Amino acid sequence: MKRAARLSLLVLVAGALLGLPATAQTFRVVTFGDSVTYAIPFDLGGGSCSASSPDTCGHTGRLASSYNCKSGDCSFTNRGRSGEMTAQGLTRLDGVLREKNWDLMVLMEGTNDLADVSAQTALFNLNAMADKAESRGVGVARASIIQFNPSVTRAQTGALNSAAKSLRNLIAGRASADKQCFVDSWAKLCNGAAPGAGCFVSNYWTPAPPAVDFVGHPNSRGYDILGREFHRVLGSRGAPGAVELSGPEEDAEVCGTDALVSWSRETVAGARCGNSFRIQISSPNGTRLDRWFFEGETCGRSGCSTISPVSLKKGNHSVRIQTRNTAGYGPWSAETAFSVVPTAPKQIQALRGPEGAFYSQGGLSTEFKWKPDPEAISYRLEIRSGSKTIFDESLTDLECSDTECAYDLGQSLETGRYTWRVMAENVCGGTWSRAALFEVFDSPPATAPAAVGPVQRVFDNTPIFRWKTVPGADSYELEDAFGGSVRLAAADVCQGDTCRRLSAALAPGLHTWRVRAANPLGDGAWSSTMTFEVVDCDCFEGKAAGGASFLLAVPENWNRELVIWAHASNEFGVLEIPDFSRLAQRQFDQGYALGTTSYSVAGWPTFRSKKDLEKVFTVFSSRYGRPKSVYLAGESAGALVAAQALENAKLGNVVGALAMCGPLAGKVNWEGALDLRLAYDAVCAEAAGAEIPGGAKGLPNAHGLAPGDIAAAVDFCTGLAKDKNRRSAAERRRLKDLLSITGLSEGGLQDAMRLATFGMVDLVRDKKKLKGKVPIGNVGVDYGDPEVNATIARVTPESKAENKLEDASELDGKIGDAKVLSLHTSKDPVFFVENLSDYSELVPEESFLLGVVKEPRASHCGFSEVEELAAWKVLTGWTETGNKPNKKALQKRCVKSRPEAPGACRFDNRPKVGGMDERVRGRG
């Protein structure tokens, strides 16, 4: 049969097999490849191929004929380029894809690579081309390259054909994985035929000598064979039918802006090639999505689905799907209407009660109230008493006013401590509010307040009376030293767990005071009566421009030396009157003048403490004369204040410093706090009542939380306050995880959480510090637990904040001739004892002495008075003699000093302290 007649028959048969596309859209196919695709001049004279019209040549022309595209329902375009490598095709393809909205690309390239490029790289490039096409909605059919012609080139072609076969196998594998059609040109054109076999003479271009086809191209007969194979694979069935949408369901509310669309695939099964689905999502404002998706990327055994790659806005939408395959376009599916709910309602911030203390004989009957959220379709309310859930229901029928929701529990709550929280819900779920704490009392306060101070001697004639809060007290009665009695509202004088009351000016001499708690149901018992002495001294109080107050005291027998005391940070605001240390009385008696100051910023003090201390020294010098020498002493954050001032403050002749329980390693202490804070969120995420808002920033702005709230949350998560045997399995697991991740002990967890919440929020959010920028991060930190690693929030530090914190917290060890004695408790949970090791690497060995107090239970700064006194004596002895004390000097001096001060002597004579890198997880 002659070729022309054969082709005509093929067209007739194909036309009969093919159904017309279901729509009038033109199905556009582009063939992309090298000279085998281009086919000129190899296919000339063998049929309809015209040198001026590549679309009529090669397998491109055969496909056009087979699909009978004369009706305009389909088109086949030849974009072969002779001599092209895949590395070039990758770039040329960009322009071809921009030409038209192709429906299908038939890709056959790679032959020109194989002498110099590995089959693996050729496949890489072909895959990149397929990705480019599919990303523009163009389906991809792949073809292997044909064999090189071994009848012409034997030895080299054997090697090239070996590579070509490798590439053929790689392409076939990838096409299968990506559910793309695969045309095996390799196998169809003389597969396995021996070199020189007649197959080649028949199917390959064999020009007359001297022209030689060194490579091997199909001739017209070869293209007939290829064309039939391409057509067989691309498909001869009719266009696909409509798919049935299975999701979203009609009128469904869909959570999130990336809706999941799912559909059946049965209607296109059997179509050979280019099965794809056009998903169109519209809203009243227009079309949101109109894109082709491919079977390979959307369909599995059970059906097809994809998540909308464009973000959908809140409101009503509709979705429909059109099908497509090689035979053309199918109809649209039925349209499904749905509405998008972008997010869950926000966390309710405004809980309007109950909160705080309630005094009622016979139980509390009250409504639970909060501010409504317009996004909510219901509210879930939970009330707990300890670990017992009193109420937990979704209130679907609750009617709220515009300004308030209120729910009447319908029962009285008995005496006890309760938490409650509420969640605004919609289809996306919701977020619990913070847990509000309230306590019901049916009697006067049961305990007497613990009086803290003043006791013994004070240098300030307006001391601050301080006592610990009593549960259930709404007021206190203070009977003070001048004989008066005053009733004080707890809200006015109490913050955290401590109440304060500034005294009126007192005369030198002995004074007494006591305090008792009260509530509407009556008064509690008086505290023990405290006695103190206002020292008759040359004292001076003042306030600096920055807001810090200072206090100076000079004894009659002044030895011309000054001790400047740096107190711990005060997380609840700037102190009105700073306190001296517990050593102050003894130092004063020894002839030392005293100076101290509050800090002009609350919380982490070192951002401005240098100026605060310099002010003390300046005022002291101008008033009393420049001291011949100066000692610095500080505890907790105050130890860092002292150590920092030793390096960079202008304080005269500083000869020594006593740094107690300080974060001398600087910023790394905050890394530990961040790890705890975020690990808490990860570990306690599922524990009811345990949520602490704020994440890496510690707490939210204006959080309204008290230390007791944090402690309660920790208890909810870990059962920490319970006897070990009464903790639930979940509480034990969470506690174990938390301690394992952070290296903390049970006894230190609450103190450490206080730093990680109240300390952190002050550091990060204070406008005088980091202004809301997080200075530390945990990206890449390995927490030793795959689940925690996967779920913990990852935070990237902001470089400016990081630098600012470093400037404010890092030491350089340049201390001149001064001596430093640094004291720490062995289990300090807030600032680890390992701070000492890091600091010791900065300062000269001959100028540094460390003292570690071995303690049975974790404490922050839990030194005995005699231990502090011994440290002071060792330091002053060292500065006076110049002889560095040995390791046992502290314990020896402590034992000798016992008659002078109370407490135990627990100094470790051979302290071994690791580095902070052993306690805080590395940042890489």
Residues lying near other proteins in the complex (CB under 8 A): 34-36, 38, 40-41, 82-83, 85, 87-88, 90-92, 94, 111-112, 114-121, 124-125, 128, 148, 152-160, 162-163, 166, 207, 209-215, 217
Nearest distance in Å: CB 207, other proteins: 7
Nearest distance in Å: CB 214, other proteins: 6
Residues 6+ apart with CB under 8 A from 55: 61, 64, 76, 77, 78
- CA separation for the pair 126, 173 (Å, rounded): 13
Nearest distance in Å: CB 30, other proteins: 17
Q: Which residues pair with 305 in a beta bridge?
A: 262
Q: Look at strands 181-183 and 139-143 and give their pairing.
A: parallel
* Shorter beta-carbon distance to other proteins: residue 35 or 527: 35
* Shorter beta-carbon distance to other proteins: residue 38 or 441: 38
Q: Where are the beta strands (DSSP E) in 185-226?
A: none
* Shorter beta-carbon distance to other proteins: residue 44 or 706: 44
* Shorter beta-carbon distance to other proteins: residue 128 or 739: 128
Dmax of the chain from CA atoms?
131
Cα–Cα distances in Å, from 749 out to 69, 185, 668, 858? 77, 70, 18, 10
Residues 6+ apart with CB under 8 A from 189: 146, 147, 203, 204, 218, 222, 225, 226
Q: Which residue has the tokens 């690309």?
A: 105
Nearest distance in Å: CB 33, other proteins: 9
Helix or strand (DSSP H, E) at 629: strand 629-635
Nearest distance in Å: CB 348, other proteins: 46
Are 833 and 723 a contacting pair, CB within 8 Å?
no
Are 909 and 891 a contacting pair, CB within 8 Å?
yes
Nearest distance in Å: CB 195, other proteins: 11
Are 852 and 833 a contacting pair, CB within 8 Å?
yes
- CA separation for the pair 515, 449 (Å, rounded): 7
Nearest distance in Å: CB 81, other proteins: 9
* Shorter beta-carbon distance to other proteins: residue 215 or 321: 215
* Shorter beta-carbon distance to other proteins: residue 1 or 155: 155
* Shorter beta-carbon distance to other proteins: residue 120 or 909: 120
DSSP category for residue 208: P
Please name the residue ranges forming H helices in 627-695: 637-648, 668-683
Please name the residue ranges forming H helices in 112-154: 119-135
Q: Which residues pair with 565 in a beta bridge?
A: 596, 633
* Shorter beta-carbon distance to other proteins: residue 36 or 658: 36
Chain centroid to Cα 789, Å, comes to: 11
Nearest distance in Å: CB 163, other proteins: 5
* Shorter beta-carbon distance to other proteins: residue 14 or 129: 129
Nearest distance in Å: CB 612, other proteins: 52
* Shorter beta-carbon distance to other proteins: residue 75 or 88: 88
Nearest distance in Å: CB 124, other proteins: 6
Nearest distance in Å: CB 88, other proteins: 5
DSSP string, 51-110: TTBGGGSHHHHHHHHHTTGGGSSEEEEEEE-TT--HHHHHHHHHHHHHHS--SEEEEE--
Residue 689 backbone zone (phi > 0: left; psi -120 to 50: alpha; other: beta): left
Nearest distance in Å: CB 756, other proteins: 40
* Shorter beta-carbon distance to other proteins: residue 154 or 626: 154
Q: Where are the beta strands (DSSP E) in 218-312?
A: 245-247, 252-255, 260-263, 276-283, 286-294, 299-300, 303-307
Nearest distance in Å: CB 34, other proteins: 5
Q: Which residue has the tokens 């990303």?
A: 135
In degrees, rounded to 5, the angle at the alpha carbon of residue 188 between the alpha carbons of residues 185 and 193 is 120
Cis check for the bond before 856: say yes or no (omega within 30 of 0). no
Q: Which residue has the tokens 């802006």?
A: 257
Backbone phi, then psi, for 143, in 5-degree steps? Answer: -135, 140
* Shorter beta-carbon distance to other proteins: residue 118 or 886: 118
* Shorter beta-carbon distance to other proteins: residue 112 or 876: 112
Nearest distance in Å: CB 90, other proteins: 6
* Shorter beta-carbon distance to other proteins: residue 206 or 669: 206
Q: Among 33, 28, 20, 24, which residue's Cα sits nearest to residue 74?
A: 28
Residue length of the chain: 924
